[in-house]
Structures are given as structure tokens and as C-alpha cells.
Amino acid sequence: MTEPKAAAQTPGHALVTGGAGFIGSHLVDGLLADGWTVTVVDNFDPYYAESTKRLNIAQHLDQRNYRLLQVDLRDAAALHAALDQPFGGADKTGYTVIVHLAAKAGVRNSLLDPLGYQMTNVIGTQNLLTYAYQRKIKQFVFASSSSVYGDCPRLPWSENDLDLLPINPYASTKLAGEHLGYVYSRTFGLRFVGLRFFTVFGERQRPDLAIHKFSRLMLAGKAIPVYGDGSSERDFTYWDEIVSGVRASMAYTGSDYEIFNLGNNRTIGLLDTIRKLEDVLNVKAKIDWQDWQPGEMRRTWANIEKPQRLLGYRVKTDFDTGLRRFAAWLQERLRLEGGKAG
């Protein structure tokens, strides 16, 4: 077996976009704990409540090695000017790595606002890649998505599948981001690592995602929407695995362009997920059956041999354990919000 090409890094200065969100705030937790300097870019998009993101980063704001820039990735001039602002002493002026997690998210909303998704997810990525090239920042880690596989019939999905046909605007923007990364790697010498996340869940999960959305509705005694016949399956991946994969990608030097699946390599059906939520929340779900939604994938399933081989990626948290941790977090979050579930 080829040895992993990722190793522990000396702490540097990480630029993290979307660093107030679900995955980003967890990543920043670890970076700060390990002595990194972190600049976060987040525009607090109103897709969900700004107060939720503010809670995610409350513990970061008083740390000397952290700064938050509230700027929009679509505005190249404002973005580049903000990023060029000095931060502390001479050891904090240059960026070691860019981790680009920010995006307009959500498959269904992308059907309603395809141009908005194109502007943020493609033009925003272009602006950040241009900055990396101009400032000679070698390492660029990009959050892509399992949705780029569309309805690819070859399961589990492998990075070797090149004839990808996304079935919603969100997925098309993520695939475009990967292609832009290839251009900047091949032509301008950046090292671009694209990470296809598979249905990430756990503490701080976005409130629109199924596990979080269903949990709040169930605790409030409301019906949960189930589309189609409930037979869809997802490769649920606990956030800690994703962050570990991101950290390994920040240190990866094996090539100048790579794409990795970050998943669990195990699928769980929607109805099984609901039953497991009933167990951890100790409530019975009421189901509101609805028609299948266009642009939705019926199954996601990751082949993770490549990240295991090249990043040392390992799945350590099973779905049931992750659900229990999420349920405990949600109870505490509801307390902070005043106890209102849904």
C-alpha cells in the first residue's frame, strides 16, 4: 500500500471561508487549539439565521490568533482588500493555506435561484483562486460535494468516474469549482485538493438538513416531510471525519491536483434514519408524505479507498454514535434558544 502523502503541519496562517458555518467552525476549533492563526471569511448569508452562526463562533472571537472578515466572495475588489489587511505581527501577514468551504448550499433552493448559486459558488471560487495565484499561496483546499455524481449508476461512487452529469444547479456549480481548480493547478501552479463531502451530520449541522430539520419538527410534535416512497439512501458522514480529511488535505503534497471522496462508505435508508431518530429523541415521528422532488438524488455512496491510501483517512464514528452526540447537542442548543424546537 502506498504511504499517505499527508503529514502533520507546523501551524501557519489558514484562510477559511465559511468559517462560521457547520463544518468551518469545527475546523477552526481544531486549528486554533493546535496553534494556528486563522482568518475567517463569512458573509452570514441569510439562508439560515445569523444567530446560529454567531453561536458557532462565540468561543473564537476573543482569541488573539483569530479574526473574522465579513465580506462577500462575489466582490473581488472588497475581498482582496480585506484579505490584504495586516493581522498582528510579521508572522501573521501571509497565508499558508486556503480552505474554501463557503458556498450557497441546498439542492432545492438552487432550483429556485440558479443564477445566485452560479455567482456565489463559481464566481466566488474564481475570485479566491485568483487571490491565491496573485499572492503565491500554494495550497488550496476546496469543499466540493457528492452531488456532482448525479445519478451515476456505478456504485459506490469513485473519483475515477469522469463522465459526471449533475442533476441540479448546486451540483453543477461544485463541479465547475473542481474544473476551475484544475485550470489554476495546471496553468498557474497551485496545489488544488477538492473534497467531495457525503451528507455530513452532527453537532452544529445546518438546520435545513434532514437530521436537524426532522429532529426539531419531531420534538415540536410536528410532521416531517418525506419525499417519494422513503426509499432514498444516504452515505451519512460524521463531521469529525470530514474535518480530519480537511486537515490531511491541508498537508497533502503528493500531487498538484487531486479529488477525494470524504464519506462513510455505508448507506442508510431514510426510513431507518427516522427510526433511529425516534430512538435517540424518544419521540414518535409523524410523516407527511410528499411527491418526489426534482433534482434530488436517490442514493449516495462513497468509495473511500483513495483518501484512505493517500490521506490516511479513517472512519471512526458510526452513525448511531454520531446521532446520540447530535441529539445531546440539540437539547443544549434548544436551551440556549429558549426551548423552542420547531
State the catalytic residues.
Answer: 170
Alpha-carbon distance of 221 to 55, in angstroms, equals 25
Residues 28-54 as b/e (b if ≥16 CB within 10 A, e otherwise) read: bbebbeeebbbbbbbbbbeebeeebbe
Reference 102, options 60, 30, 26, 43; nearest CA is 43
Q: How far apart are CA 200 and CA 23, in angstroms?
A: 8
Residue that has been written with the C-alpha cell 456565489 in this structure: 120
> Rounded CA gap, 265 and 18, in Å?
26
123: exposed, middle or buried (Cβ count in 10 Å: 0-12, 13-18, 19+):
middle
Give the CA angle between residues 27, 33, 36 to the nearest 5°: 75
Q: CB of 178 within 8 A of CB of 142?
A: yes
